[in-house]
Amino acid sequence: MSAPLTLPDYRLRPDQVPETVVERLPPAERDRLRARITNLLISQGAVLVAHYYTDPELQRLAEETGGYVSDSLDMARYGHDSKAATLVVCGVRFMGETAKILNPEKRVLMPTLAAECSLDLGCPAPVFTAFCDQHPDRTVVVYANTSAAVKARADWMVTSSSAVEVVSFLRDRGEKILWAPDKYLGEYIQQQSGADMLLWQGACVVHEEFKGLELAELRAQHPGAKVLVHPESPAAVIKQADVVASTTGIIRAAREMDADTLIVATDNGIFYKLQQAVPDKTLIEAPTAGKSATCKSCAHCPWMAMNTLTRLAHTLETGANEIHVDPDIIERASKPIERLLNFATERKQQIYGRSDA
Ligand code: 13P
Ligand code: SF4
C-alpha cells in the first residue's frame, strides 16, 4: 500500500486576510448614491446581481432596481437569462468570472476587483495544475470558489448544493477524486459519499472561525433551537447541525423547519434574506468568538464587504473594474460548469438559488 500523501496547508495566514470594513454612510449620502446608481443602471441597460453575503444596502438596491440576489451559480444563470447587456456583479471575483464564462458576450463589471476569496487565493492555478498532473488517475472536481484558470483544469465544477450528488455519481462509476480547494467541504463530501478523495488543504477564513465548543454551549442555552450550517465549516460544527446546506439551502430549510429559533453558521450577510424569509423566527449567529477565539473576519467575509455603494457608483460612472477572461480559458472552464448544469438537468436536481430558496 502506498504511503498517505501529506499535502501542504494552503490556508491563508492572518496577515493575508484584510480587515472587514463595512461602509457606513450618512443617510443623505446613502440616498444620493442609491438614486445615482439607479439612474446609471437604467441609462446603461445594466442589471445588478448581488450575493447573499453582500451589504443589505446592495441586496435591497438589486431587488428594487429589478436585479437579483442569490447564490453564486444562480447569479451566473440569472445573468445568462437576463436581457441586460451589462451585468454588475456584487460579490467576489470568482462570481464575476463565472458570470463572464457563462455570458462571454456580456460586459461584466464589479464594484472592485480586489474582492477575492480565501479559497480561490489558496489554490493558485500553476501549483494546482502541477498537482493534478501528478495524479492523472483521478477525476478533478473543483468547487465554484476557484479562479477561471483552476476551473479550466477541472473535469467537474460543483457547488455546495450539488457536490455530494456529483461525487456519489462519480464514485458509482468507480472514479477516484481529486478535490479542491476547501478541505472541510471535501471532508464532508467524502464522509457523505464514501468516495476515494484526495483533498487540497484550503479553507474559507469566515467559516473556519465557527467554533464547535461555543456552539455546544449556545445550543444548551436554546434547547429548542435548530442549527443550520454551511459545509465550509469545520467538522466539529457540522456534526452539531440539524441541516447542512448551501446558502440557498439554508434559507429554504429555515422556511421549512418548525423551530422558532434558528442558529446559523454562515456569513451574517445572509440574515437580510433569512429574516425576510422567516420574519417570525428568532435568528442567532453561530459563535465565532469565545474561549477559543482567533477570528478576524467574525462571520463576515472581508472581501464581500469591499462591495460598497461608493465603489458601485464609481464603477458605473467610469466603466472601471470590468471582468476579462482569456477566451481559451473561457472555452475550457465552461466545460466543467456545463457538465454540472447538464447533470443537474438530467437529475432534475435543483441547484439554483431562487427556485429552491
Ligand atoms: P454559494 O455558492 O452558496 O453562494 O456560497 C458561496 C460562498 O462563498 C460560501 O462561502
Ligand atoms: Fe470565499 Fe469564504 Fe468569502 Fe465565501 S465567505 S467568498 S468562501 S472567503
pLDDT digits (tens, 9 = 90+) for 84-99: 999 999 999 999 999 9
- Does residue 117 have its Cβ closer than 6 Å to ligand 2? yes
CATH number for the domain formed by residue range(s) 23-115+304-325: 3.40.50.10800
pLDDT exceeds cutoff 80 at 285: yes
Which cell is 106 given? Answer: 456580456
Render 277-313 in DSSP notation, one character per residue.
Answer: H-TTSEEEEPPS-STT---SSTTS-TTGGG--HHHHH
The whole-angstrom distance between residue 20's C-alpha and the CA centroid of its chain comes to 17
23-115+304-325 and 119-199 have identical folds: yes
Local confidence band at 79 (pLDDT 50, 70, 90 cut-offs): confident
Instruction: Quote the pLDDT of residue 76.
Output: 76
Min mean pLDDT across 42-46, 72-76, 246-250 is at 72-76
Domain 119-199 has CATH 3.40.50.10800: yes
317 vs 262: CA distance, rounded Å: 41
Q: Which residue has the cell 446592495?
A: 58
H or E stretch covering 127: helix 125-133
H or E stretch covering 262: strand 261-265
pLDDT exceeds cutoff 90 at 105: yes
Domain definitions of the chain by residue range: 23-115+304-325, 119-199, 207-285
Instruction: Quote the pLDDT of residue 80.
Output: 78
pLDDT exceeds cutoff 50 at 254: yes
- Does residue 205 have its Cβ closer than 6 Å to ligand 2? yes
Instruction: Quote the pLDDT of residue 351.
Output: 53
The rounded mean pLDDT for the chain is 92
Which cell is 322 given? Answer: 470590468
Instruction: Output the CA 72–ligand 1 centroid distance in Å.
Output: 6
Note the pTM of the prediction, 2 decimals: 0.93
- Residues 69-77: what's their mean pLDDT? 84
Test site for ligand 2: of 232, 233, 246, 307, most ligand atoms within 8 A of the Cβ: 232
Q: Are 37 and 316 a contacting pair, CB within 8 Å? A: yes
188 vs 50: CA distance, rounded Å: 27
204 vs 301: CA distance, rounded Å: 9
* Percent above pLDDT 90 for the chain: 83
* Topology of domain 207-285, CATH: Rossmann fold (3.40.50)
The interaxial angle of helices 72-81 and 93-102, nearest 10 deg, is 40
Bond preceding residue 181 cis, omega within 30 of 0: yes
Instruction: Output the CA 218–ligand 1 centroid distance in Å.
Output: 25
Instruction: Quote the pLDDT of residue 208.
Output: 94
Instruction: Quote the pLDDT of residue 21.
Output: 87
Q: Which residue has the higher pLDDT, 29 or 346?
A: 29
- Residues 331-336: what's their mean pLDDT? 97
